Structure 1
Amino acid sequence: MALNSASAVFDVLIIGAGPVGLTLANLLGQQGIEVLLVEKEDELISYPRAVGIDDEALRVMQTADIVGEVLPHTIPDQKIYMVNGDRLILSEVNPTTREFGWPRRNGFVQPLVDRVLLEGLERFPRVSVRFGAEVTDLVEDADGVAATLANGETVRARWVVAAEGGASPTRKRLELSFEGETRPSDGLVIDVANDPIGTPHAVFGGDPKRSYASISLPHGIRRWEFTLFEGEEAEVTEEFARSLLAPHVPDPSKLDIIRSRVYRHHARVAGAFKVGRIILAGDAAHVMPVVGGQGWNSGIRDAFNLGWKLAAVVKGQADAALLDTYEQERLGHVAQMVAVSLGMAKEMTDHDPAAAAERDRIAANRTPEERAAQAQQKFKPQPKFDAGVVVHTPLPEFKTLPARDVPRMAGSIFPQPQATDADGVEMLLDDATGQGWRVIMWNNDPSKFVTPEQARTIADLGGRLVQVVPRSQLPWVRAHAAADVTIVGDLGGEASLQAWFDARPVGAVIVRPDHVVAAECLAQEVREVLDRVFEAASIRVRQPASLA
């Protein structure tokens, strides 16, 4: 994956070979986009940062066709105990849902997953990677961006994505604000091999004397995090680290410490995510305290939202206006996640004994319903877009539909239950339908409800027309299906697609490549609603043959 020549022009230049840049490069590589990924360091960062990967991010890894390589570096369904200074449990976080096809909480080893992402790029001959390549300047013109590297070399790209971390030189070069706050206390991370505790869960300790976290990681690693008080940063030595660990292990002298590192708690969001042809993603656009475990996952959401949009624009399938929806969609959810993470950080790291006692009192008086909601991680806001590539249709009012108050799904993530392919082989829904744009209809043949031009446009985008039927119908439907329709068998039950459609007054959904519902409607409304979705996405619709 060497750079072709000093004069090469790329579709996309990605700055930063962290998880966001690597994920975006994989997603663009799948689409055949010419990508140059540059990283100022000489190799991937080896020290662990993030320790939690969620179900949405695993679904992205599934989309990128590398989830099988990621899973060996995870602990599925990792439970969290929030405890007070007396080690009494304040709350548990133990979500058991498989709404998106994967466990909602998973411990993981970030450097090993980053390595999987880097090795995944070897599949794509049009993706180049250069380490030891620092970008020192960016100059935009009408056709693209010229990037100057530290060695004096210049490369050009049509679009630039800066994913080079919270200290982003690109964000500073663009003179964008980075509003928010920095917590007054630093933290110390200590990673230990040959886990001396050996339990699978994580513990967040809200001890007013010194807050801490103890997290089991794959491959016998345990992560500890401790709050540092003013002036202690200069005292961080191996002896100091072992003194912090002494209350947590039988013999701190026998610990196999891999590394320790001081970090700051930031909660900030950039004033803009896109300026002309230059786009910010991941920590370059937003940072949040580590307590919520969503910094890494939020960056992966950025890459997923941006990947399909960049590919469509580069391929000429959509106008550049599509990229303006990236900030429009991501900013609101990022702000929510920053607020939640900051709130959790303040709650668990408050060293005021009176405030900690009040927190304990509130926790002790939670109702069973509140405890259940906490356990299922319902405090985590799900992405929900009110604007962008989303079409909100009115609630239908027909006598054949029961009157019910159900949440509308447009702008939310479509679920991923187990289903079957046309041959009845069980698999996750995205594997049964294929990736990309999908028009999914219950029971109906979608080819009967779209125009030929719409069908060709969906095909040009790499999308699918999907007919979902009960598994019992598969033999008959397979024998009579249109050639351009993907058939999926529904398994029934509470988590099935039939149950999903049963609960809603719609018979069709239009799903984006990032699994977000672009629109939902009745079967007879699909043509009109699909046109509105194409318009919202600035997609260039195929003209009728007579006009082509």
Structure 2
Amino acid sequence: MSLEVEARGSNRLPDIETDVAIVGAGPVGLMIANLLGQSGVRVLMIEKLEQIIDYPRAIGLDDESLRVFQAIGLADTLVPHTTPDHWMRFTTGDGYCFASIEPRTDEFGWSRRNAFLQPLADNVLCEGLKRFPRVQVLFGHGVESFEQDAHGVTIEARDVSGATRRIRAGYMVGTDGGNSFVRRTLNVSFDGRTKPNKWIVVDVRNDPVGEPHIYLVCDNERPYVSAALPHGIRRFEFKVMQNETEEELSKPENMAKLIRKLVADPDKVDYIRKRVYTHNARLADTFRVGRVLLAGDAAHIMPVWQGQGYNSGIRDASNLAWKLAMVVNGTSRPSLLDSYTAERRAHARSMTHLSEVAGDIVAPETKLGKAMRGLLIKSSAVFPSVRRYFVEMRFKPMPRYERGIVLLPEPKKTGGWLARRLERAGNGPLGRLLNLMSQNRASLVGRLAYGRDPLEKSPVGRMFIQPRVRTPEGQIVRLDDVIGNNFTVLAWGADPTFGLTDGARVIWEHLGGRFVFAKPDVQMSHSDDVPAGVLAIGDVQNRLKDWFGARPTSVVLLRPDRFVAGVCSPQEVSNAIIELAGKLDLVMHANQSI
């Protein structure tokens, strides 16, 4: 009897072998699959539902996330489903705006805050997978169990008809949501808290309000949110009071009472869905256990107030995918994957605190919380600097990697009693606010807790800017579109390969890296100073000159996720490349002597 006949007879489907299995076809899993597909990795997505979820969920998209969509070639497809420059305004119940978040920077190439419709974005990602013949999606398959050994992960899955199949993968990524089966099976702790109150989210078509931004209304009677979304969609969110139920609130007469203060005729609202949810803030103890990794809501969940759950998941995908591709393709050893938790967990924690603090402002649970909100409202009217702090979005913790694939000295254990006390001060609104402020080591609270931050002004471990530049062919494009998703040595005003050692050149070729020579745009017609194998770009907006002019070094080493791995002078490029190779734990072949 053949194996195929035997499998049918026992209600088993044929086995599948793959490089990476991704459990859960949400946005994070779909993004990882697209990034891995670009690198030629065999990917199998396993999703228990028979199609991707089609109802609205996340509504806020950051510039960082749009840059990742750009990296996989899908930004132009997604942008028509977004609203750029989507400001967030905190108002009192009587309409006084005491804080407005309206950053106007485009340092990473895109608007800092954008509204979007997640089902359409998820569909863009799902359709994008069709470009990659080595990426396969199994809808209607639930994971029953899995176990890992030294060489891979064995997964047992069952489809909607009850048939089972065995999947063998080199690595597995759990992107299966806050109630992650993968995380629970690994027995990874998921510590945090669930707020006692609930909210009802109401999505409607044919926007009955029309105001163009998102409003978080701190109404003393019942806080609520009103958010304009693309294509005439609007989201309302109302706090559910004690003894109210989803069933009761969803009745037409009660729904009409909720939105009567916001719309002219509550009986003529075109509802899409209504759903009650709670706000959770939880963080996994680790994002990696052997050959199994966690990403997105499976690794961290946070309240919706700053729209960071979706964006934090996309950051996970961008950080993890290039490392996983290097390991699967044999470029680096598996130890490279340890840097994923080291780099992403701390920032996910910071974004969770940020979301919790925003929730404390909108709907404080305690007298202290209400007092703090009152103080914020009064101070915003008296002190322009307080208002500017919100307008420019200075409160948002940007990703900053001090450990992992960065050429920095290991940070010393600093901070005394106050630092340790702040680490444990997350239960009340004041504690959450102080904890958030202390995570910015340059802030007053951070300096008091940890002392002066010696790396405060270093660009290493931070995302690099993305200005528009001119190509040798004369086109003006965003930086990433010309340098690609490669490792890149980018130098200002000089050939980065002058004096490069043979060993450093071999390493860079092994990484598929690029050498880029940035110069003033008016100098692009002169090419005698650009050797073969080096790409010249023109600094159209003078932003690269300004960036390098504010720092003592003129060369940056960029990672595939566009974070700065290191900085150096032109004469130090070879040493920086060799040091980076050590961080990446490269696998070099016998004929690649360095």
Fold match, TM over 0.5?
A: yes
Query: Comparing 363-372 with 53-62, which one deviates more in the overlay?
Result: 363-372
Q: Provide the residue aligned with 1:435 in structure 2.
A: 485
Does 2:371 align with 1:321? no
Deviation at 1:242, TM superposition (A): 2.5
Deviation at 1:354, TM superposition (A): 7.6
Q: Secondary structure at the match of 2:66?
A: helix
Query: Comparing 498-507 with 480-489, which one deviates more in the overlay?
Result: 480-489
Q: Provide the residue aligned with 1:397 in structure 2.
A: none
CA deviation string 1:12-31 (max 9, x = no partner) = 00000000000000000000
Does 2:217 align with 1:205? yes
Whether contact under 8 Å (2:517, 2:530) holds in the other structure is no
Q: Provide the residue aligned with 2:136 in structure 1.
A: 128
- Correspondence for 1:221 among 227, 230, 233: 233
Q: Provide the residue aligned with 1:164 in structure 2.
A: 176
Aligned length: 531
Does 2:116 align with 1:66? no
Q: Provide the residue aligned with 2:538 in structure 1.
A: 489
Residue 462 to residue 230, structure 1, CA distance change in 2 (3 Å): farther
Residue 37 to residue 277, structure 1, CA distance change in 2 (3 Å): same
Residue 241 to residue 452, structure 1, CA distance change in 2 (3 Å): farther
Does 2:522 align with 1:472? yes
- With normalisation by structure 2, the TM-score equals 0.87
- Measure the CA separation in 1 of the matches of 2:455 and 2:43: 46
Q: Please tell me the residue identity of whatever aligns with 1:503.
A: A
Q: Provide the residue aligned with 1:273 in structure 2.
A: 287
Whether contact under 8 Å (2:16, 2:166) holds in the other structure is no
- Correspondence for 1:192 among 189, 195, 204: 204
Deviation at 1:81, TM superposition (A): 1.1
Map 1:233-382 → 2, pairs under 5 A = 233=245, 234-239=247-252, 240-350=254-364, 355-356=369-370, 358-366=372-380, 367-382=383-398
Whether contact under 8 Å (1:192, 1:221) holds in the other structure is yes
Deviation at 1:432, TM superposition (A): 2.2
- Correspondence for 1:85 among 85, 93, 104: 93
Deviation at 1:226, TM superposition (A): 1.0
Q: Please tell me the residue identity of whatever aligns with 1:469.
A: K
CA deviation string 1:290-310 (max 9, x = no partner) = 001100000000000001000
- Measure the CA separation in 2 of the matches of 1:67 and 1:61: 5
- Correspondence for 2:476 among 420, 426, 435: 426
Q: Provide the residue aligned with 2:192 in structure 1.
A: 180
Does 2:22 align with 1:11? no
Q: Please tell me the residue identity of whatever aligns with 2:248.
A: E
Query: Comparing 191-200 with 420-429, which one deviates more in the overlay?
Result: 420-429
Whether contact under 8 Å (2:71, 2:484) holds in the other structure is no
CA deviation string 1:439-476 (max 9, x = no partner) = 00111112224333433432333321111111122122
Does 2:113 align with 1:100? no
Q: Provide the residue aligned with 1:459 in structure 2.
A: 509
- Measure the CA separation in 1 of the matches of 2:402 and 2:35: 25
Q: Provide the residue aligned with 2:60 in structure 1.
A: 52
CA deviation string 1:307-330 (max 9, x = no partner) = 100000001001100001000000
Q: Where in structure 1 are there 5+ consecutive unaligned residues?
A: 395-403
CA deviation string 1:146-180 (max 9, x = no partner) = 00012321101000000010000111111111100
Query: Comparing 199-208 with 354-363, which one deviates more in the overlay?
Result: 354-363
- Measure the CA separation in 2 of the matches of 1:387 and 1:113: 32
Q: Secondary structure at the match of 1:219?
A: helix
Q: Secondary structure at the match of 1:213?
A: strand
Deviation at 1:492, TM superposition (A): 4.4
- Measure the CA separation in 2 of the matches of 1:354 and 1:283: 30
- Measure the CA separation in 2 of the matches of 1:511 and 1:227: 44
Deviation at 1:427, TM superposition (A): 0.9
Q: Please tell me the residue identity of whatever aligns with 1:218.
A: P
- Measure the CA separation in 2 of the matches of 1:481 and 1:540: 31
Whether contact under 8 Å (1:270, 1:286) holds in the other structure is yes
- Measure the CA separation in 1 of the matches of 2:392 and 2:71: 25
- Measure the CA separation in 1 of the matches of 2:96 and 2:368: 17
Q: Secondary structure at the match of 1:359?
A: helix
Across the aligned residues of Structure 1 and Structure 2, the Cα RMSD in angstroms comes to: 1.9
- Measure the CA separation in 2 of the matches of 1:16 and 1:405: 38
Residue 516 to residue 449, structure 1, CA distance change in 2 (3 Å): farther
Whether contact under 8 Å (1:433, 1:487) holds in the other structure is no
Q: Secondary structure at the match of 1:411?
A: coil
Deviation at 1:247, TM superposition (A): 1.2
Q: Secondary structure at the match of 2:129?
A: helix
Deviation at 1:358, TM superposition (A): 4.6
Deviation at 1:544, TM superposition (A): 6.3
- Measure the CA separation in 2 of the matches of 1:501 and 1:22: 36
Deviation at 1:246, TM superposition (A): 1.2
Q: Provide the residue aligned with 1:530 in structure 2.
A: 577
CA deviation string 1:123-151 (max 9, x = no partner) = 00000001101011011012100000123
- Measure the CA separation in 1 of the matches of 2:127 and 2:316: 21
Q: Please tell me the residue identity of whatever aligns with 2:570.
A: A
Residue 95 to residue 499, structure 1, CA distance change in 2 (3 Å): same
Q: Provide the residue aligned with 1:539 in structure 2.
A: 586
Residue 156 to residue 544, structure 1, CA distance change in 2 (3 Å): closer
Query: Comparing 434-443 with 356-365, which one deviates more in the overlay?
Result: 356-365
Deviation at 1:351, TM superposition (A): 5.6
- Correspondence for 1:155 among 153, 157, 167: 167
Q: Secondary structure at the match of 1:247?
A: coil
Whether contact under 8 Å (1:206, 1:350) holds in the other structure is no
Q: Provide the residue aligned with 1:509 in structure 2.
A: 556
Q: Provide the residue aligned with 1:412 in structure 2.
A: 462
- Measure the CA separation in 1 of the matches of 2:139 and 2:344: 29
Deviation at 1:229, TM superposition (A): 1.8
Whether contact under 8 Å (1:456, 1:542) holds in the other structure is no
Whether contact under 8 Å (1:28, 1:311) holds in the other structure is yes
Residue 414 to residue 242, structure 1, CA distance change in 2 (3 Å): same
Q: Provide the residue aligned with 1:389 in structure 2.
A: 405
- Measure the CA separation in 2 of the matches of 1:429 and 1:449: 26
Between the aligned residues of both structures, percent identity stands at 41
Q: Secondary structure at the match of 2:73?
A: coil
Q: Please tell me the residue identity of whatever aligns with 1:194.
A: N
Whether contact under 8 Å (2:324, 2:337) holds in the other structure is yes
Q: Secondary structure at the match of 1:448?
A: coil
Q: Please tell me the residue identity of whatever aligns with 2:82.
A: T
Whether contact under 8 Å (1:457, 1:542) holds in the other structure is no
Q: Where in structure 2 are there 5+ consecutive unaligned residues?
A: 1-12, 411-453
Q: Secondary structure at the match of 2:231?
A: coil
- Measure the CA separation in 2 of the matches of 1:405 and 1:296: 29
- Measure the CA separation in 2 of the matches of 1:450 and 1:100: 30
Whether contact under 8 Å (2:180, 2:298) holds in the other structure is yes
Q: Provide the residue aligned with 1:112 in structure 2.
A: 120
- Measure the CA separation in 1 of the matches of 2:228 and 2:135: 35
Q: Secondary structure at the match of 1:476?
A: coil
- Correspondence for 1:498 among 545, 556, 566: 545
- Measure the CA separation in 1 of the matches of 2:144 and 2:249: 33
